[in-house]
Amino acid sequence: MEELKVTTPTQWSTRRGEIVELPSGNVARLRTISLSMCLFGGTVPNHLSGAIKDLVEEGREAVEKLAESDLKKAVEVQSWLIEQAMLEPRIHTGDDSMGPDEIEHGDLTDEDRSFVCSFAIRGVAMLEPFREERGGAEPGHNGEEIRETAE
């Protein structure tokens, strides 16, 4: 039996994220986010902490309520999630000049923005239906070969 070795910090950081095709066809490296750890660690901006706390506690309902009551804050939460989740390319933040490995929020379509946020919160599990959908139909894939009774 092979002896387990501790993953070095360099190896650890190179294994981060999942390469994912976005709805637009663009490809990015995304990571999931532990919202509770972000709150605990203080990485959530103060003005968004209430909305992120609600998101942790209530899930999708909190997003829908926020979008109805304060659309500006909902977009800010979405933008923050995208900034946290996108590893490659990075999202440019701040007033400094944009780097060669960065894009702006405006470069993402609305569908890409929603996808990245969903991935950030739910992770790889949310890709399974998408991957299956992209894989093509096999016999029985759409239920054609499901029988009413056992033989």
Reported as a single tens digit per residue, the pLDDT across 48-63 is 988 888 888 887 777 7
The reply to whether 41 falls in a domain is yes
Domain count for the chain: 1
Contact 111, 23 (CB under 8 A): yes
The reply to whether 5 falls in a domain is no
The residue type at 60: R
The reply to whether 149 falls in a domain is no
The reply to whether 113 falls in a domain is yes
The reply to whether 65 falls in a domain is yes
Please check the confidence at residue 29 and state whether its pLDDT lies above 70.
yes
pTM over 0.95: no
Phi-psi region of 25 (alpha: psi -120 to 50; beta: other; left: phi over 0): left
Which ranges constitute the DSSP H helices of the chain?
9-14, 35-41, 49-58, 60-69, 71-85, 110-122, 127-134
Determine the pLDDT at residue 34: 86
63-118 per-position pLDDT tens digit: 788 888 888 888 999 999 999 999 999 999 887 888 889 999 999 999 999 999 98
Contacts of 134 (CB under 8 A, 6+ apart): none
The reply to whether 146 falls in a domain is no
The reply to whether 23 falls in a domain is no
What range defines the domain where residue 72 resides? Answer: 30-92+100-133
